[in-house]
Amino acid sequence: MQIPYTVTARPDTGVYNAKLGVWLFLASEVMLFGALFSSYILLRVGAPTWPHGYELLNVPLATFNTVVLITSSITMVMSWASLMVKDFRKYRIYMGSTFLLGLVFLIVKAFEYGAKFGLGIYPAENTFYAIYFTLTGLHGLHVVGGMIVNAYFWGPGSKMWHTDPVRFTNRVEVAGLYWHFVDLVWIFLFPSLYLL
Amino acid sequence: MDQTQTIDFKKHVRTYIAVFVALMALTVVTVAVSYLHLPITAAVVVALIIAGVKGSLVASYFMHLISERKLIYWTLALTFIFFLALMLLPLGSESDKIVN
Amino acid sequence: MQQWLGMPIDAAAHGAEIDQMTVVMHWIMLILFIGWGLFFTYAIIRFRRTKSVRADYAGVKSHFSSYVEGAVAVVEAILIIGFAVPLWAKRVNAFPPEGESTVVRVVAEQFAWNAHYPGADGVFGKTDIKLVSAENPLGLDRSDPAAKDDITTINQLTLPVNKPVIVYLSSKDVIHSFGITYLRVKQDAIPGEQIPVWFTPTKTNEQIREELTKPYSIKGQTVSVGRAVNRLAFFEYKDKSGEVIVTAGGFIGEPEVQKLMEAGIDEVVVTKDHSTMVAMQEYKDADGNIVVEKGGRLSDDVVLKLVAMGITEVLAAPDTPLEIACAQLCGLGHYRMRGFVTIQTEEQYKAWLAEEASYLTQ
Amino acid sequence: MANVATAHHDTAHHQEEELGFWRKYVFSIDHKVIGLQYMFTALVFLFLGFTLMMLMRWQLAYPGEPLPGEIFIGLPAVIGVALLLIGRWQRKLTSLIGMIFLGLAGLVWYMVTDEVLMPGGVMLPELYNSFGAMHGTIMVFLGVVPLAVGAFGNYLVPLQIGAPDMAFPKLNATSYWSYFLGGVTMLVSFFVPGGAANSGWTSYAPLSVIATQGQTLWLIGMIFLITSSLLGSVNFIVTIIQLRAAGMTFMRLPFFVWAQFITSFLLLLAFPPLEAAGIMQLLDRVVGTSFFMPSGLVVSGQALPYAGGGSPLLWQHLFWFLAHPEVYVLILPAMGIVAEVIANNTRKPLWGYKSMVYAAIFLGFMSFIVWAHHMFMTGMGTVISTFFQTTTMIISIPSVIILTALVISLWGGSIRFSVPMLFALAFLPMFGIGGLTGLPLGLAPTDIHLHDTYYVIGHFHYVVAPGTIFALFAGLYYWFPKVTGRQMNETLGRIHFIGSFICMNVIFMPMFIQGLAGVSRRLYDGGAQYSHAQGVLYLNEVMSVGAWALGVFQLFFIFNFFWSIKKGKEAKENPWDATTLEWATPTPPPHGNFLTLPEVHRGPYEYSVPGHDRDFVPQHVDGQLRSTKTQKV
Ligand code: HEA
Ligand code: HEA
Ligand code: CUA
Ligand SMILES: [Cu+2]
């Protein structure tokens, strides 16, 4: 028997299953990163001395990455908007660029990490680097996850557009919610690690 | 595609662009401020305010929270409360230790 | 109720308050439980199917329960405001001035308690982990003038009675917990932190021993022959031919075990280790010479002598009644991470300090 | 109803032809099959956790005496062989479980004959600690939670709310398999050098960071388990909010569903911090970061190669941020089961259903801000300790409300002492004891004397063992006919109950005495060294004998369980004359549960409604009633 409200919204709650699902998932993500931020604060407050992020980390690169991620956010939302107006071609373009921007972000990150490793600096160096690598690393994994999803909806997954457009649009919206969250995390990560 | 959709599609896109510009601007600001090397508390306050604004922009417009259902609000409100507890209570116990 | 709860004797000034609060709480718990229990029991008996065939849709109509719940809330509020908060505040805020108290550093490690006394100058000498070694577990820097007169002991905390004690607690490796049951003290020792604890002992070890004195059975322990190897026989054992295999107090080795088995004896009584106990009264044998004086250890031969005299129960007390029990899992030796506390009169304590100091000079 | 049922039956057969064995039983996405997978896995783990404890109890009763391995291998071996015998002329399942029990016997054999950790059959402290840690971990994370939430929740929630399945069936399967992997990882950790994790289920740093390899696997296992719980909880919440049948308003949900709903929120929001902490501890252990490692650590004379600057208390905060809500995760579903069973067997509505619901919500909310009552002895000042003492006392009120409502529900009932009811009734006073003894622990001054003593062990075992475990037994006996279409044997059930009830109290009551005397927990020799423990040492043997006896009484359950699957006496469609929706489907429910989604017309517990001939009115049955309100509050 069919599971109700997979596509259409349930009248009294006003949402369809996947949407509620992803918001709940994001709630748990908030607690996950929350715990790491909390650890960051606790360690920093407890430390006798703590370096300023901009003394040790590459702010210009990170700023560039911020721009990249924000841009990827808008291309993501545009891809969804295009589907709303049934413009599949535009969707393909926007979704594609979202994926590519994600890739750019990762490459830049790779350079950042590489530079540090080159200097023989690893997470074990001190608690600052430990939390820096952990937070950015975990965020990076989230980017990768998002990119896999986006790639799927750009390529094979997009067949569904022709069979069940409404459902496909929902899926893209949900993927978008996740992607924006990843962006949102970075928006907090960037100042707290690099600028303070 | 029919008229009405194109209309509000255009409207949507305009808001998205606006938000995008705002985000860029704020990014520039926050980085710029960091070069002033303000005293740490001031710096934290500024950085968090800016990040907060940027965050809420993304959430409200890109994630459409502005026009979201109550159900979602409640879930997030609950999460936020516990998030605060997770931030503040450990700090509180660290700052209230037995001393002599 | 305190006895009834089996709370151990308390030898600290603040102990009574904690015990009293514990007792109060248990009374409340008991009353609540009996209250609910009675209602519960009555209900399941009265409303069993055979008695009440058709249930009553509404059930209880009164809102009495709300009052009960309210009452519980009120009682808990009183407990917090009236007992918990003030008591805790006394423990963690109202520290006595260091001048008028005995100040000690205690550094826990796997699996021992290192005590560090500031010595005559009342100043703790520097410590440095680079200096840590088997002989110098604290890493005390003897070259530091303040350290010259510092006294350090391992698993032994000697303190004067009726004078506040402030212990600065820390750990070298993992988290331990500094628990002294009879002093109602417990505080985690956390590496990287130094946490102060304070208490005022009100009884010396002698007094505590007196309190703990009770008839103590020195009977042996029955074990299967297999397990009796390398133990001392409690009775004399003969084989069928009446030849002695092992005398009372005799050592049971492999050969003895063999003989015992051949003799068809499968269970034997061996001496139990009573050496942690001391006699609390003098025991003389028939011709008046002392078997064990008051305070003497109940070593195996003493026990055997007493048994030979037909005494199986003596007035005894633990030799070291006050123990530091580690109350936080800290590794494989957690269970044996035991330190000893000796509470003495001011004079004895001074003497002890002097003695320790004398070792330093040589 | 009847004809509908038959209709269901042929659809059921129809289904079975469609899916092959693997798709149907192993990689199924049917919430009922997944629920059963959870149930069997969790029961086996419960038994393993118990076995570890039976071994430990030997060391506690007879410190240093060689352990009679044969006996302890015997228990699971006997069960295994017996199940294989039953299985010979029964379904594959039983034989499978039989082999698993033989596997358990093998595991025990491996451990008791391990010359490194058990030279001459004498358990070494390392092994004792490792068993203690794994007992706690297995019982909490691999036993009770998967059984209470994964099994009961999965099987019943969709049925009780009138849904065809969970909202995300594939996700559901994923979370089971993630749990399974977590379990396997934990099992593997028994075989690595140094044995399984041995730093307590709390894994306090720095001890856990410098511990043997087992700890690394423990952390990896936990990450699987946490992932599983997160996926599960999202699924439950969406299912309950979105898939309620027409007319199933929130205030018409069975209390059990409410319990699962709140539990899911606890899992969803409390687990991530432990996941973060787990990752950090893993990094500390593997790549040498110092999140939990302060500067200047010296272990056995050697300075540790850590940069330092970390905080051991950070771990405790993150751990207890999960672990306190976790303990309510252990109790809420149990309360839910007990509520169902009591309503059904008193033949009357729950008293104060609404207040119970609100209390449960409040309980769930508060449980996030009391965690540091586990940390009173870590050096807390007045302000923060006052905060946590207050919240701790406040959180006890909702529990009081729920328990009181359940006790009052008995009043005016027509009580059937069926086996499930016996367990449910026993739950009340047992939880009462456990809960009440939580109060002196919740106030810092009294906690000074009781912290980390056997009093704590007694406290929480009264809530989890004769509490939760009994509730789970009640549920197993109660819903058995729903799943198998057969009843479990009454007499065996009663023996199982009486035996377990007595043994549980023989085991856990003495713990309070030992605790008040000041005997610490986690002592390899049960305190034999300490003079303050001498007076209560004899109790160790008493408790151990109790534990072994408890083990023997479980045989009655296990055999009854598997025997009844095929041989139990046939059960009616609705053997307990229950009102909730799970009984409105045929037995066993087909894939998709309902042919036409039911419509709900009234509250969950319309028993003995005045002016009705039958003493129960199912939720889905139409027809005007004098009162459609759930009942007076
Ligand atoms: C299901 C699990 C569960 C539950 C429900 C509880 C419930 C409570 N717990 Fe418990 N607790 C644990 C599991 C649980 N706990 C575990 C596992 C630990 C140890 C962790 C470790 O260190 O390893 C622990 C430890 C623990 C501590 C730390 C002790 C220490 O380490 O020093 C504290 C301290 O505040 C505490 C307090 C409480 C309180 C106040 C409640 C309250 O919620 C209780 C409220 C309930 C009542 C007040 C009962 C009311 C009911 C009645 C009175 C009805 C009676 C009915 C009849 C007689 C018919 N618990
Ligand atoms: C849900 C949690 C839970 C449960 C149910 C139990 C159940 C039991 N526990 Fe557990 N225990 C803990 C959680 C739990 N424990 C924790 C967290 C600790 C602290 C660990 C630490 O120190 O870090 C602990 C510690 C602990 C100690 C202290 C060890 C120490 O400090 O050194 C002891 C001592 O006796 C003990 C005993 C028991 C006993 C006898 C049971 C009995 O009640 C067991 C009852 C079990 C059953 C009745 C099994 C039922 C299952 C079946 C019958 C299987 C059927 C199978 C099929 C049908 C396929 N436990
Ligand atoms: Cu030190 Cu336990
Ligand atoms: Cu708790």
At residue B75, does pLDDT exceed 80?
yes
What's the one-letter identity of residue D34?
I
Taking the Cβ of residue A85 and every Cβ of chain D, the question of whether any pair is shorter than 8 Å is answered with: no
ipTM of the complex: 0.94
Residues near ligand 2 with C-beta < 6 Å?
A: D 43-44, 46-47, 50, 53, 57, 97, 132-133, 135-136, 139-140, 144, 200-202, 330, 457, 461, 464-465, 469, 507, 521-522, 547, 550, 554, 557-558, 561
Measure the CA–CA gap between C297 and B43, rounded to whole angstroms. Answer: 70
Q: Which two tokens stand for residue B12?
A: 């949507």
Measure the CA–CA gap between D517 and C253, rounded to whole angstroms. Answer: 38
At residue B20, does pLDDT exceed 50?
yes
Per DSSP bridges, beta strands D302-303 and D298-299 are antiparallel
Q: How far is the CA of A28 from the centre of ligand 4 (A)?
A: 21
Across the range A54-69, mean pLDDT stands at 94
Per DSSP bridges, beta strands C338-344 and C156-160 are parallel
What pLDDT sits at residue C58?
85
Cβ within 8 Å, pair D307-A36: no
What's the one-letter identity of residue D466?
P
Residues of chain C with pLDDT under 50: none
Identify the residue whose tokens are 């510009």: B21
The dihedral of CA D502, D41, D326, D337: what is its sign?
negative
* Chains touching B by CB (3 or more pairs below 8 Å): A, C, D
What pLDDT sits at residue A119?
93
Cβ within 8 Å, pair C192-D312: yes
Q: Which two tokens stand for residue C134?
A: 């088997």
Nearest residue, CB atoms, B97 vs list D314, D317, D379: D379
Residues of chain D with pLDDT under 50: 1-17, 626-633
Long-range contacts of C38-46 (CB under 8 A, 24+ apart): C39/D407, C39/D408, C40/D407, C40/D410, C40/D428, C40/D429, C43/D407, C43/D410, C43/D411, C43/D413, C44/D410, C44/D415, C44/D425
Q: How far is the CA of D332 from the centre of ligand 4 (A)?
A: 14
The secondary structure of residue C183, as a DSSP letter, is: G
Measure the CA–CA gap between D384 and B95, rounded to whole angstroms. Answer: 9
Cα C312 to Cα C250, D198, D390, D582: the distances in Å are: 18, 43, 53, 68
The dihedral of CA D242, D246, D249, D254: what is its sign?
negative
Cβ within 8 Å, pair C173-D206: yes
Using DSSP's 3-state secondary structure scheme, residue A121 falls into coil
Residues of B in Cβ contact (< 8 Å) with D369: 85, 89
Global pTM? Answer: 0.94
Q: How far is the CA of B95 from the centre of ligand 3 (A)?
A: 26
Name every residue whose Cβ is closer than 8 Å to that of residue D551 and which is 6 or more positions away in sequence: D50, D51, D54, D75
Residue C324 Cβ contacting ligand 3 at under 6 Å = no
What pLDDT sits at residue D410?
95
Nearest residue, CB atoms, B96 vs list D314, D369, D381: D381
Q: Which two tokens stand for residue A26?
A: 């994001």
Cα D305 to Cα A79, A120, C131, D288, D378: the distances in Å are: 51, 16, 16, 8, 25
Which residue out of D144, D374, D402 has the highest number of ligand 1 atoms within 8 Å of its CB and is therefore the one to mutate?
Answer: D374
Residue D447 Cβ contacting ligand 1 at under 6 Å = yes
Nearest residue, CB atoms, A35 vs list D242, D277, D309: D277
What pLDDT sits at residue D4?
39
Which residue out of D53, D329, D399 has the highest number of ligand 1 atoms within 8 Å of its CB and is therefore the one to mutate?
Answer: D399
Measure the CA–CA gap between A54 and C28, rounded to whole angstroms. Answer: 59
Report the percent of chain B where pLDDT is more than 90: 64
Per the CB < 8 A criterion, the answer to whether D632 and D348 are in contact is no
* Chains touching A by CB (3 or more pairs below 8 Å): B, D
Atom of ligand 1 nearest to the CA of D377: 32
Which residue out of D365, D373, D391 has the highest number of ligand 1 atoms within 8 Å of its CB and is therefore the one to mutate?
Answer: D373
Taking the Cβ of residue A112 and every Cβ of chain D, the question of whether any pair is shorter than 8 Å is answered with: no
Cβ within 8 Å, pair B86-A177: no
Residue of A nearest to B52 (CA): A188
What pLDDT sits at residue D225?
97
pLDDT tens digits, one per residue of A107-144: 999 999 999 999 999 999 999 999 999 999 999 999 99
Atom of ligand 1 nearest to the CA of D370: 35
Name every residue whose Cβ is closer than 8 Å to that of residue D196 and which is 6 or more positions away in sequence: D130, D133, D134, D186, D189, D190, D214, D217, D218
Taking the Cβ of residue C92 and every Cβ of chain B, the question of whether any pair is shorter than 8 Å is answered with: yes
- What's the mean per-residue pLDDT of chain C? 90
Cβ within 8 Å, pair D317-B90: yes
Q: Which two tokens stand for residue A62?
A: 């990170």
pLDDT tens digits, one per residue of C28-43: 999 999 999 999 999 9
Q: How far is the CA of B42 from the centre of ligand 1 (A)?
A: 44
- Higher-scoring residue by pLDDT: D596, A72: A72
What pLDDT sits at residue D202?
96
Taking the Cβ of residue B97 and every Cβ of chain C, the question of whether any pair is shorter than 8 Å is answered with: yes
Q: Which of D137, D329, D288, D325 is nearest to D222 (CA)?
A: D137
Map C115-180 to HEC letters: EEECCCCCCCCCECHHHCCCCCCCCECCCCHHHCCCEEEECEEEEECCCCEEEEEEECCCCEEEEE
What pLDDT sits at residue D631?
42
Element (H, E) at C214: strand C214-217
Taking the Cβ of residue B74 and every Cβ of chain A, the question of whether any pair is shorter than 8 Å is answered with: no
Using DSSP's 3-state secondary structure scheme, residue C354 falls into helix
Q: How far is the CA of D49 from the centre of ligand 2 (A)?
A: 6
Cβ within 8 Å, pair A24-D268: yes
The nearest CA of chain A is from the CA of D475 a distance in Å of 27
Q: How far is the CA of D433 from the centre of ligand 1 (A)?
A: 9
Cβ within 8 Å, pair D237-A34: no
Report the percent of chain A where pLDDT is more than 90: 89
What pLDDT sits at residue D15?
47
pLDDT tens digits, one per residue of C173-225: 999 999 999 999 999 999 999 999 999 999 999 999 999 998 988 888 888 78
DSSP labels, C39-84: HHHHHHHHTBTTT--S--SS---S-HHHHHHHHHHHHHHHIIIIII
**Which ligand is nearest the CA of D431, by number?**
1
Q: How far is the CA of D450 from the centre of ligand 2 (A)?
A: 20
- Cα D233 to its chain centre, rounded Å, is 15
CA-nearest residue, atom 36 of ligand 1: D438
Report the percent of chain A where pLDDT is more than 70: 99
At residue A66, does pLDDT exceed 90?
yes
What pLDDT sits at residue C130?
85
Per the CB < 8 A criterion, the answer to whether D190 and D117 are in contact is no
Cβ within 8 Å, pair D408-C59: yes
CA-nearest residue, atom 35 of ligand 1: D442
Residues of B in Cβ contact (< 8 Å) with C166: 100
Taking the Cβ of residue A78 and every Cβ of chain B, the question of whether any pair is shorter than 8 Å is answered with: yes
Q: How far is the CA of C186 from the centre of ligand 1 (A)?
A: 21
**Strands, DSSP E only, in A50-142?**
none
**Torsion angle of the four alpha carbons D150, D152, D154, D156, in this order, in degrees rounded to the nearest 10:** -170
